[in-house]
DNA sequence: CGAGCACTTGATCGCTTTCAATAGCTGTGG
DNA sequence: CCACAGCTATTGAAAGCGATCAAGTGCTCG
């Protein structure tokens, strides 16, 4: 189980064209291959503790991990959602600044930190891709700041759902004209931690969106969206229309 | 006035050792020198409009600029505060994602985007420094997410003041054992935009902190902090003690 | 002296939180 | 097969915090 990915070649890797290694040529891949190893984590398991010494960096290969920050009295804020191909860790810093937790079962492609750092210094294709990914994450973090600082609970829920829909759409780019559906990868509590709400408010607002026909639910996790524009409107984002899919 | 910085040599630049050029050798500086130019902005002036075509990137040389995002109905959230040496713009993206506004009079050291992008590709010292700065900004953005999502109004104000104090301390590293003082570089409204509050709440909480002796005010902008640990406690941050200064 | 601006302060409203009870689902063991 | 524990989610009622609406203060600049 643990070794399911142990012998996957980079060239066969599902995140080959999106991860930090996306621009590497075969030669560079070979060098990465030498310092990489896979690790598996069960849902709920902590991958990295904030403040811990980081001896590796890596990419999420499958599953979903979350980046969270906790205050002394227990208040928690999720500050990032890590999907397949997302990068974990910070070259040039010895300790982790946030907790990283496996939200689902997770497989990570890890690189020992020191060798990876020297590789970065020598491999512009990796450094540039990492810069690009980091800039993307920064933009995403700043959009999230608008959500946390200014949006209502209802808008927050609608925003979260539309972001999940968008990510689904970019990953498996199926242009089914049918009704959009997604599975929420998070519990109500995790959504609350992500949105800066309580789990009760999350539940209430989901019920309200359902009652108003913006979404419909089958079970607790499966969401259908009859009218994506309506959802985007509820999210309070610029409604410049169907840039989705 | 506009040309005040027109002929400043990089080697004489006040942000030489902190900006994106920090690690450049003399040869690399010469190449930057060829594509750089200075621009001045008055307080209140917009430097870049969100969505606009970006034909330059650059560093804040002096003054303070802010990065803001605005919703259609006018709700605003500041998503970054740009101090001297901070980098503006995104290599590899044609349009700006946020508004950039001069909070005080600002001087920027600009590079035409295209030449800068090729320079990045050829100059690891610049690319690496930019990656490092971007990672720092990402961490800062994530800390801000905790503030926006989970902190009370009082904690937000205390956090903002302590961050300003910390930055002052790292810039002009004066270890005066005397009482710490800072000038707030923002109006109440700008603080509100940064903290996800209204200006009335900002004003009220500042008054409350004053009444409780956590801070004292001379005029509207000048703040004295009799007990920095007390302030940090009010900010709700980990009180692992005097890592300041 | 009055206009304009930044800020403060007061009173009230309303959204989200808090506290609490209940429902639904899953797995375990008698 | 049912009872029950444990967990997640929903729903209700009440409280609290920050927003909103509204005056009023203090300062600068014409």
State which of A84, A112, A143 marks the end of a domain. Answer: A143
pLDDT of residue B111: 96
Where is B217: in which H helix or E strand?
strand B216-218
Look at chain A and count its residues.
Answer: 245
Alpha-carbon separation of residue A121 from A54, A93, B172, B174, B194 (angstroms)? 19, 15, 32, 35, 36
pLDDT of residue B178: 66
State which of B96, B125, B143 marks the end of a domain. Answer: B143
Cβ–Cβ < 8 Å for B69, B88: no
Which residues in A lie closer than 8 A to residue B67 (C-beta atoms)? Answer: 142
Q: Which residue's C-alpha is at the least distance from the C1' of C8? A: B203
Distance C14 C1' – B47 CA (angstroms) = 38
Same domain (yes/no): A115, A155: no
Q: Count contacts between A and B (CB, < 8 Å).
A: 114
State which of A109, A143, A177 marks the end of a domain. Answer: A143
Same domain (yes/no): B126, B191: no
Strand partners of residue B216: B224
Same domain (yes/no): A50, A111: yes
- Residue B218 falls inside a structural domain: yes
Q: Mutate one of B72, B87, B135, B145 to test the A interface: name it (highest A CB count within 10 A).
A: B145
User: Which of A77, A138, A148 has its CB closest to that of B138?
Assistant: A138
Q: Do A142 and B67 touch (CB under 8 A)?
A: yes
Q: Flag whether pLDDT at B177 surpasses 70.
A: no
Tens-place pLDDT, residues B112-147: 999 999 999 989 899 999 999 999 999 999 999 999
Q: Who has greater pLDDT, B203 or A245? A: B203
- Residue B244 falls inside a structural domain: no
User: Which of A128, A132, A134 has its CB closest to that of B138?
Assistant: A134
Residues 2 through 41 of chain A touching chain B, CB cutoff 8 Å = none
Query: Which residue segment(s) compose the domain that A42 sits in?
Result: 10-143
Tens-place pLDDT, residues B29-47: 999 999 999 999 999 999 9
Distance C7 C1' – B199 CA (angstroms) = 9
Q: Write the DSSP string, A226-237.
A: S-HHHHHHHHTS
pLDDT of residue A244: 43
Cβ–Cβ < 8 Å for B61, B14: yes
Same domain (yes/no): A26, A92: yes
Furthest C-alpha separation in chain A: 56
Q: Which nucleotide's C1' atom has the smallest distance to the CA of A200?
A: D10
- Residue B135 falls inside a structural domain: yes
CA-based nearest distance A221→chain B, Å: 24
Which residues in B lie closer than 8 A to residue A80 (C-beta atoms)? Answer: 142
Same domain (yes/no): B170, B195: yes
What tokens were used for A43?
């849902």
- Residue B4 falls inside a structural domain: no
Q: Which of A5, A129, A134 is nearest to A62 (CA)?
A: A5
Question: What would the mean pLDDT of A112-127 be, rounded to a whole number?
Answer: 93
Q: Mutate one of A146, A149, A158 to test the B interface: name it (highest B CB count within 10 A).
A: A149
Same domain (yes/no): B51, B97: yes
3-state SS assignment for residue A154: helix
* Residue B240 CB-density burial (10 A; 0-12 exposed, 13-18 middle, 19+ buried): exposed
- Residue A5 falls inside a structural domain: no
Q: Which of B154, B146, B19 is nearest to B82 (CA)?
A: B19
CATH number, position B223 = 1.10.10.10
B187 Cβ nearer than 7 Å to chain C strand: yes
Same domain (yes/no): A123, A21: yes
Same domain (yes/no): A133, A157: no
Distance, CA of B204 to CA of B206 (rounded, Å): 5
Q: How many domains does chain B have?
A: 2
- Residue A1 falls inside a structural domain: no
CB contact, 8 Å: A135 with chain B? Answer: yes
pTM for the predicted model, two decimal places:
0.93
- Residue B245 falls inside a structural domain: no
Q: Who has greater pLDDT, A81 or A6? A: A81
Same domain (yes/no): A57, A139: yes
Which residues in B lie closer than 8 A to residue A73 (C-beta atoms)? Answer: 236
Tens-place pLDDT, residues B55-107: 999 999 999 999 999 999 999 999 999 999 999 999 989 999 999 999 999 99
Same domain (yes/no): B99, B132: yes
Q: Flag whether pLDDT at A2 surpasses 50.
A: no
Q: Which nucleotide's C1' atom has the smallest distance to the CA of A75?
A: C17
CATH number, position B23 = 2.60.120.10
Q: Which of A14, A223, A2 is nearest to A105 (CA)?
A: A2
- Residue A82 falls inside a structural domain: yes
Same domain (yes/no): B19, B115: yes
Same domain (yes/no): B38, B129: yes
Distance D21 C1' – B99 CA (angstroms) = 29
């Amino acid at each position: 189980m643990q070794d399911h990915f142990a012998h996957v070649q980079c060239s066969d890797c599902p995140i080959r064209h999106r991860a930090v290694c996306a621009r590497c040529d075969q030669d560079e891949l070979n060098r990465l291959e030498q310092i990489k190893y896979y690790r598996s984590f069960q849902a709920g398991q902590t991958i990295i503790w904030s403040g811990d010494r980081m001896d590796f960096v890596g990419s999420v290969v499958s599953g979903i991990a979350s980046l969270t920050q906790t205050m002394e009295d227990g208040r928690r804020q999720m500050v990032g959602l890590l999907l397949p191909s997302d990068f974990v860790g910070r070259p040039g810093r010895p300790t982790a600044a946030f907790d990283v937790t496996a939200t689902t079962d997770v497989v990570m492609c890890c690189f020992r930190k020191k060798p990876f750092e020297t590789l970065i210094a020598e491999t512009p294709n990796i450094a540039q891709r990492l810069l690009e990914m980091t800039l993307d994450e920064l933009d995403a973090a700043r959009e999230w700041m608008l959500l946390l600082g200014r949006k209502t609970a209802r808008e927050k829920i609608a925003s979260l759902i539309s972001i999940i829909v968008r990510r689904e759409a970019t990953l498996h780019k199926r242009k089914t004209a049918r009704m959009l559906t997604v599975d929420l990868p998070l519990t109500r509590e995790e959504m609350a931690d992500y949105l800066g709400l309580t789990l009760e408010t999350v539940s209430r607002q989901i019920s309200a969106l359902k009652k108003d026909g913006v979404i419909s639910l089958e079970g607790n996790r499966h969401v259908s969206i009859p009218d994506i524009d309506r959802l985007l409107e509820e999210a309070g984002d610029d409604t410049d229309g169907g840039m989705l899919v």
